[in-house]
């Protein structure tokens, strides 16, 4: 008995040939006009973001309005957006909106405007060193609060070749207190 006459071999060979034929045939991909979440139209403006695998994300990023030292110059938003996306990626929901603002969460006030703050004294913050963000999700009332920071180089007077990378920390993931609304 030869191998070609063994039962069950022909359907497998036909399926293999069909699969190889489909894989090798030319395709006509459509050009992508989608904006990824790491692209913004310009600093301080909202830019919709989409990808083939996820729905659009409404993104607003506001860079530091103050003059920053040469080492921290450049558009902080693309890197900050990527850092926020990375910080919330482990959460089991689809991001629908991200808002990024300059500066840290002053006095650890993650939900500004919802309570009276005691007197607090913050540390010296260089403009452009910190940002903070909130991420809202399509199927949840919970909001993620994210703190962003950059390591400061030893010489602040030397411009960086590219914007320094952001480190992001998920600070809270909860339903915000009554009275808070996402900016």
Least confident of 63-77, 116-130, 135-149, 164-178: 116-130
Helices (H), 25-171: 77-88
Least confident of 3-17, 84-98, 144-158: 3-17
Calculate mean pLDDT across residues 90-101. 97
Instruction: List pLDDT tens digits, range 144-168.
Output: 999 999 999 999 999 988 889 999 9
The gap from C-alpha 85 to its chain's centroid, in whole angstroms, comes to 3
Does the structure show a pLDDT above 60 at 134?
yes
Q: How confident is the model at residue 14 (pLDDT cuts 50, 70, 90)?
A: very low
In this prediction, residue 53 has a pLDDT band, given cuts at 50, 70 and 90, of low
**Least reliable range by pLDDT among 61-65, 96-100, 110-114:** 110-114
> Does 173 have pLDDT greater than 80?
yes
């Amino acid at each position: 008995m030869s191998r070609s006459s063994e039962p069950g071999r022909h359907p497998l060979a036909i399926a293999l040939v069909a699969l190889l034929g489909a894989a090798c045939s030319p395709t006509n991909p459509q050009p992508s006009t989608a904006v990824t979440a790491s692209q913004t139209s310009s600093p301080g403006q909202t830019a919709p973001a989409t990808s083939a695998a996820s729905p659009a994300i409404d993104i607003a990023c506001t860079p530091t309005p103050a003059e920053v030292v040469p080492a921290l110059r450049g558009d902080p938003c693309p890197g900050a957006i990527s850092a926020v996306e990375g910080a919330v990626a482990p959460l089991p929901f689809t991001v629908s909106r991200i808002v990024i603002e300059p500066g840290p969460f002053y006095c650890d006030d993650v939900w500004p405007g919802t309570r009276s703050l005691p007197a607090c004294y913050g540390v010296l913050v260089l403009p452009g060193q910190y940002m903070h963000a909130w991420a809202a999700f399509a199927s949840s009332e919970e909001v993620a609060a994210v703190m962003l920071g950059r390591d400061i180089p030893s010489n602040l007077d030397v411009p960086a070749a590219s914007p320094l990378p952001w480190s992001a920390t998920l600070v809270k993931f909860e339903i915000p207190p009554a009275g808070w609304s996402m900016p």
